[in-house]
Amino acid sequence: MDYQEIILDYDAGIALITLNRPKALNAVNVAMIAQLHHFFTEGYKDLKDLKGVVITGSGEKAFAAGADIKEFMNVASSAKEFLKTGHKMFNAIERFHKPVIAAINGFALGGGCELALACHMRVIADNGKLSFPEVNLGLIPGYGGTQRMSQLIGKARAMELMMTTDMLPATRTVELGICNHLMPVGEAVAKSKEIIQKIGTKAPLAIKHIISAVNACFDHNADGYEVELDAFAELMQTKDFQEGVSAFVEKRKANFTAE
């Protein structure tokens, strides 16, 4: 697939995806959703030795200022299908087997905030700002924001945030546990890459199972304890488990092969 709305750079095992609609403050449109979905389900397979993915916005002003409001005008008659397509993409990010980190620069509003929430972690720059402005449009967050934000900050805070449309400054997003790290402007991507490089030294299959087991905690259809138990038992059958234990005993660095 030809990526127009996103830019993909690949270096040292890290895919950097830049949302690339700067004139519309990187608003998430249908084409961008299709391209992100393609990357997280197919496109990544072309990248050898992928360790993880960082998503950021082009320019310093916005990560993404929401779903594309102008496109909304035409989708009322097929609203459910429209949203379901988005949900598939957001779920593909959340369930991706490698770490995905949002490096938030400037505004992350509405669907842009929801995109950041679907990532496994968030690093925010000093100028980052999060808000759900949907009720100003007569809407609610529609790409999983009501769920993922409530999971992160609790019911009362999520209710207030979505009903008031208050803009959270970067410092507050870290205090609330939405974002993992606060960085000076221009350094959020580097910090995100540093985290992925660190994770890249660990056993890849274990990392994959951490993602699915933690996600299971928020999946009403899953028994998270069972998911954890199955994952642990499966990992004990792997070569990487043998290697990790041998390396510990032999006092050397483990050489994991994802087998």
Enzyme catalytic residues: 114, 134
Provide the CB-side half-sphere exposure for 226 (13 A, CA): 4
Strand duo 107-109 + 129-131: pairing: parallel
Q: Is 111 in the site for ligand CAA (CB under 6 A)?
A: yes
Q: Considering beta carbons, is residue 84 or 198 the nearer one to ligand CAA? A: 84
Q: 48-67 mask for ligand CAA (x: CB under 6 A)?
A: -----------------xxx
Among 40, 63, 107, 256, binds ligand CAA (CB under 6 A): 107
In the complex, least distance from residue 86 CB atom to ligand CAA, rounded to whole angstroms: 7
Q: Is 70 in the site for ligand CAA (CB under 6 A)?
A: yes
4: tokens are 């127009």
Among 32, 36, 68, 173, binds ligand CAA (CB under 6 A): 68
In the complex, least distance from residue 131 CB atom to ligand CAA, rounded to whole angstroms: 8
Nearest by Cα to 12 from 201, 187, 180: 201
Is residue 7 within 8 Å of 20, Cβ to Cβ?
Answer: yes
At how many degrees (to 10) do helices 79-94 and 30-41 cross?
A: 40
Q: Considering beta carbons, is residue 51 or 129 the nearer one to ligand CAA? A: 129
Q: Is 82 in the site for ligand CAA (CB under 6 A)?
A: no
Q: What is the DSSP string of 108-140?
A: EETHHHHHHHHSSEEEEETT-EEE--GGGGT--
Binding residues (CB under 6 A) for ligand CAA: these are: 24-25, 27, 65-70, 107, 109-111, 114, 133-134, 137, 139, 141-143, 145
